[in-house]
Structure 1
């Protein structure tokens, strides 16, 4: 079995300023796109969503950071000013060899799907979000393209 961390996501209000900050820090902009449509809302459980994302990567290519600004639906909470000992984060995404096999193995440990669907993003990925221990939000992705 192979598993590797794909990226960590952070929701921001000002995407351009965040890209600038992480570029100064040393990350490289891999791409910036608008994500919307039925598949996107199904994987996140938000329904009709519209979000702009920027993917940043470390110079060695071993780690990526997904910066997101949610345009719709309206943002419902703001945790940016919470102390570092607060619970929660957006999510961590893992790429796996076989998504359905991984889900089957995790179900024995109480994992719950956020929505009932594993969704397909173009010819690139099968995706789903799950809740793990204590409700921790994880994304699982299988490359298909």
Structure 2
């Protein structure tokens, strides 16, 4: 059986509204919101009794999604948002944008901070990493030429 697609990447946050606003400014669209709870949900995640607010954000091309989750129950037990780029595990989401300088400037109004420097990779991409809301690591890329 062949893989059909990757549906989404999940990110757990504390401030769902602020994070939605940040990703909207980046260019993602809010596809929908829901509250997930019940015995079935806890069986899937292994968390038992859970209550989670979820927002699904979609890229403009419709092919990629971020699932933003805020756990009301159980409480969050670990925090790796400020881990460096060489930490083990899931690290960042990378987005291609039309104008990286304009995008960075707009996201700074939402608290984004540049990590390291903006670089030109072999005149193919202009790249940078930023820390977004709650310290989330986000990569930005602009195709050159």
Compute the TM-score of the two structures, normalised by the length of structure 1.
0.60
Whole-angstrom distance in 1 between the partners of 2:3 and 2:10: 21
Aligned residues: 90
The residue aligned with 1:134 is none
The residue aligned with 2:60 is 59
- Structure 1: gaps spanning 5 or more residues: 91-145
The residue aligned with 1:24 is 25
Whole-angstrom distance in 2 between the partners of 1:31 and 1:37: 19
Report Cα offsets for 1:33-56 as digits up to 9, x if no partner.
110001110000000011100000
Shift of 1:84: 1.6
Whole-angstrom distance in 1 between the partners of 2:53 and 2:89: 22
Report Cα offsets for 1:3-60 as digits up to 9, x if no partner.
2000000011100000000000000000011100011100000000111000000011
Q: CA-atom RMSD, angstroms?
A: 1.3
Larger Rg: 2
Whole-angstrom distance in 2 between the partners of 1:37 and 1:8: 22
Q: 4+ residue runs of structure 1 moved beyond 2 angstroms?
A: none
Whole-angstrom distance in 2 between the partners of 1:89 and 1:47: 24
The residue aligned with 1:89 is 90
Q: Which has the higher contact order (CA 8 A, sep 6+)?
A: 1
